């Protein structure tokens, strides 16, 4: 298929970049000793100032992180290409297309019949969001209401009064535009989340078991790794507590929510795809080691939603690509098992 060949070419592109990281950047090297001593000061082209060299451990950490994410993107493109190829078998493609069209028809009917409810829901969410932005100081208040009452000199000055009124009207207009934009955004987001959540419901019995059987044919002699160790896993309550605390930081909370939404589809299918293949502890350890690839795969699948016709195959591609990711056994650099 042309699409799978394109995914394979992108995977080769990321593989070439990851292979050349250590060739063209000798300062960012895993080799200790000489690599650290050979690092020279960086000269500023503008001011001619000199910056001290980074510590060897910092350079190794930066190189390891960069190489891990490049290889994660390569693995995500490879798994999507293999997943698209696997959708040709066991009737996966037409089952996926019919389920997507049925879900879209269902939600279009709900939006048409309960349109007022969804409009009011979007307006309420937008109002709460704007109120929170005003409370945090991200948005300015309404002119004189935000800056306090007008003084005697301002009241006697006609030009000053008109200026304050114009400023207040401008602030009201900005808030109204922000409300309309956020309401439209939430109106669309509720529809997208509803469609994705509903399309996930029949995945297990309609597509996932068939996808596991199709992918298993490619890995006939595959066995679960015996050295996956879940002893270093954090307790579940600690992860949930850290997540709740991170949501209290305004800017960081948005980044956390976006990352969880991108990996949400893959995370929800990951456990079910590994049933009868990996044990519970092995699933947790492999999920933790494949976290960069899971994020990259989730982002890539979200981008595929924007491609007409191809987005009808997304449920089947999700199941097959996750099965390929687990059986290929990719792991981040620095995990107990090397990257394959």
* Structural domains of the chain, count: 1
Residue 123 lies in a domain: yes
Residue 335 lies in a domain: no
SS3 of 185-215 = HHHHHHHHHHHHHHHHCCHHHHHHHHHHHHH
Residue 336 lies in a domain: no
Residue 87 lies in a domain: yes
Residue 271 lies in a domain: yes
Residue 221 lies in a domain: yes
For the residues 250-263, what does the mean pLDDT come to? 72
Confidence of residue 65 (pLDDT cuts 50, 70, 90): confident
Residue 333 lies in a domain: no
For residue 92, the model assigns a pLDDT of 94
Listed as own residue / partner, the contacts of 176-181 with beta carbons closer than 8 Å and 24 or more positions apart are 178/126, 178/130, 178/133, 178/139, 179/123, 179/126, 179/127, 179/130, 180/126
Q: What tens digit of pLDDT does each residue of 82-136 get?
A: 999 999 999 999 999 999 999 999 999 999 999 999 999 999 988 888 887 777 6
For residue 23, the model assigns a pLDDT of 45
Say what the pTM is.
Answer: 0.70
For the residues 62-78, what does the mean pLDDT come to? 89
For the residues 252-259, what does the mean pLDDT come to? 72
Q: Which domain, by its residues, includes 298?
A: 2-328
Residue 108 lies in a domain: yes
């Amino acid at each position: 298929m042309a699409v799978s060949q394109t995914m394979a070419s992108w995977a080769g592109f990321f593989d070439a970049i990851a292979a050349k990281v250590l060739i063209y950047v000798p300062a960012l090297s895993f080799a200790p000793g000489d690599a650290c001593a050979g690092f020279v000061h960086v000269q500023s082209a503008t001011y001619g100032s000199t910056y001290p060299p980074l510590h060897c451990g910092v350079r190794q950490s930066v190189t390891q992180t960069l190489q891990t994410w490049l290889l994660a993107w390569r693995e995500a493109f490879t798994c999507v290409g293999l997943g698209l190829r696997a959708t040709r078998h066991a009737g996966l493609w037409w089952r996926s297309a019919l389920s997507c069209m049925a879900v879209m028809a269902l939600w279009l009917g709900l939006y048409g019949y309960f349109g007022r409810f969804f409009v009011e829901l979007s307006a309420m969410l937008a109002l709460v969001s704007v109120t929170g932005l005003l409370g945090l100081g991200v948005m300015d208040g309404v002119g004189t209401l935000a800056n306090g009452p007008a003084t005697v000199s301002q009241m006697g000055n006609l030009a000053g009064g008109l200026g304050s009124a114009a400023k207040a009207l401008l602030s009201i207009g900005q808030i109204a535009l922000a409300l309309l934009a956020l309401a439209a955004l939430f109106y669309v987001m509720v529809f997208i989340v509803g469609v994705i959540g509903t399309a996930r419901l029949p995945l297990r019995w309609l597509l996932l078991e068939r996808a596991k059987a199709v992918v298993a044919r490619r890995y006939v002699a595959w066995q679960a790794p015996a050295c996956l160790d879940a002893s270093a896993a954090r307790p579940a309550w600690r992860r949930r507590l850290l997540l709740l605390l991170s949501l209290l930081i305004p800017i960081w909370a948005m980044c956390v929510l976006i990352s969880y939404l991108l990996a949400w589809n893959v995370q929800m299918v990951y456990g079910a795809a590994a049933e009868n293949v990996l044990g519970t502890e092995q699933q947790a350890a492999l999920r933790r080691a494949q976290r960069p690839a899971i994020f990259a795969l989730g982002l890539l699948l979200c981008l595929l939603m924007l491609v007409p016709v191809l987005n009808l195959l997304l449920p089947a591609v999700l199941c097959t690509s996750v099965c390929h990711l687990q059986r290929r056994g990719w792991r981040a650099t620095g995990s107990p098992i090397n990257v394959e």
